[in-house]
Chain A
Amino acid sequence: MATQPDEVQAALSRRYTAGFVTDIETDSLPPGLDEGVVRAISARKGEPEWMTEWRLAAYRRWLTMKQPDWAHVNLAPIDYQAISYYSAPKNQPKSLAEVDPKILEAYDKLGVPLHERARLAGVAVDAVFDSVSVATTAREQLSKVGVIFCSMSEAIREHGDLVRQYLGSVVPQGDNFFAALNSAVFSDGSFVFIPKGVRCPMELSTYFRINAGHTGQFERTLIIAEEDAVVSYLEGCTAPMRDNNQLHAAVVELVAMDRANIKYSTVQNWYPGDENGKGGVYNLVTKRGDCRGADSRITWTQVETGSAITWKYPSVILRGDRSVGEFHSVALTNHYQQADTGTKMIHIGRDTKSKIVSKGISAGKSQASYRGLVKVEKGAVNARNHTRCDSILIGKRCSSHTFPYMEIKNPTAIVEHEATTSKISDDQLFYCRSRGIGEEDAVSMIVDGFCKQVFRELPMEFAVEAKKLLEVSLEGAIG
Chain B
Amino acid sequence: MLKIENLHARIAGKEILKGLSLEVNPGEVHAIMGPNGAGKSTLGNVLAGRPGYEVTAGSVSYDGRDLLTLEPEVRAAAGVFLAFQYPVEIPGVNNTYFLRAALNAQRKARGEEELDSMQFLKLVRGKVKDMGMPPDLLNRAVNEGFSGGEKKRNEVFQMALLEPRLAVLDETDSGLDIDALKQVADGVNALRSPDRAFVVITHYQRLLDYIVPDFVHVLSAGRIVESGDATLARELEAHGYAWVREQAHAEAQA
Q: Which A residues are within 8 Å of any B CB, using their own CB?
A: 1-4, 425-428, 430-439, 441, 445-446, 448-453
User: Do B162 and A436 touch across chains, with their CB atoms under 8 A apart?
Assistant: yes
Contact with A along B57-83 (1 / 0, CB 8 A): 000000000000001110111000110
Is B111 part of the contact surface with A, judged by Cβ < 8 Å?
Answer: no
Listed A/B pairs (13) with beta-carbon separation below 8 Å: A426-B51, A426-B52, A430-B72, A432-B102, A433-B72, A434-B50, A435-B105, A437-B101, A438-B105, A439-B73, A441-B101, A445-B93, A448-B92
| Closest A residue by C-beta to B143 | A431
| CB proximity of B253 to chain A, nearest CB, Å | 40
Interface of A is mostly: helix
User: Do A448 and B93 touch across chains, with their CB atoms under 8 A apart?
Assistant: yes
With A and B bound together, what is the CA distance between A433 and B98 in angstroms? 11
User: Do A428 and B158 touch across chains, with their CB atoms under 8 A apart?
Assistant: no
Is B175 part of the contact surface with A, judged by Cβ < 8 Å?
Answer: no
With A and B bound together, what is the CA distance between A428 and B72 in angstroms? 13
Find chain A residues with CB under 8 A from B162 CB: 435-436
Is B90 part of the contact surface with A, judged by Cβ < 8 Å?
Answer: yes
Residue from the list A430, A437, A451 in contact with B102, Cβ < 8 A:
A437
User: Do B90 and A433 touch across chains, with their CB atoms under 8 A apart?
Assistant: no
| Closest A residue by C-beta to B83 | A434
Sorted from nearest, which 9 A-B pairs have the closest CB atoms?
A: A449-B92, A2-B51, A449-B93, A452-B92, A436-B76, A435-B102, A436-B106, A433-B72, A436-B105
Contacts A1-B71, A428-B88 given; does A434 touch B48 at CB 8 Å: yes
Contacts A436-B109, A437-B101, A441-B105 given; does A431 touch B90 at CB 8 Å: yes
| CB proximity of B196 to chain A, nearest CB, Å | 17
| CB proximity of A435 to chain B, nearest CB, Å | 4
Listed residue (A4, A427, A433) with the most chain B CB atoms within 10 angstroms of its CB: A433
Q: Which B residues are within 8 Å of any A CB, using their own CB?
A: 48-52, 71-73, 75-77, 81-82, 84, 87-88, 90-93, 97-98, 101-103, 105-106, 109, 141, 158, 162
| CB proximity of A145 to chain B, nearest CB, Å | 37
| Closest A residue by C-beta to B102 | A435
Find chain A residues with CB under 8 A from B49 CB: 433-434
Listed residue (B71, B82, B87, B91) with the most chain A CB atoms within 10 angstroms of its CB: B91
Find chain B residues with CB under 8 A from A437 CB: 73, 98, 101-102, 105
User: Do A436 and B91 touch across chains, with their CB atoms under 8 A apart?
Assistant: no
User: Do A1 and B93 touch across chains, with their CB atoms under 8 A apart?
Assistant: no
Find chain B residues with CB under 8 A from A445 CB: 90, 93, 97-98, 101
| Closest B residue by C-beta to A431 | B88
Find chain B residues with CB under 8 A from A436 CB: 73, 76-77, 102-103, 105-106, 109, 162
With A and B bound together, what is the CA distance between A235 and B235 in angstroms? 71
User: Do A450 and B72 touch across chains, with their CB atoms under 8 A apart?
Assistant: no
User: Do B92 and A430 touch across chains, with their CB atoms under 8 A apart?
Assistant: no
Find chain B residues with CB under 8 A from A3 CB: 51
With A and B bound together, what is the CA distance between A372 and B82 in angstroms? 43
With A and B bound together, what is the CA distance between A434 and B52 in angstroms? 14
Find chain B residues with CB under 8 A from A432 CB: 90, 98, 102
| Closest B residue by C-beta to A439 | B73
Find chain A residues with CB under 8 A from B71 CB: 1, 433
With A and B bound together, what is the CA distance between A450 and B67 in angstroms? 33
With A and B bound together, what is the CA distance between A321 and B222 in angstroms? 68
Residue from the list A426, A439, A446, A453 in contact with B90, Cβ < 8 A:
A446
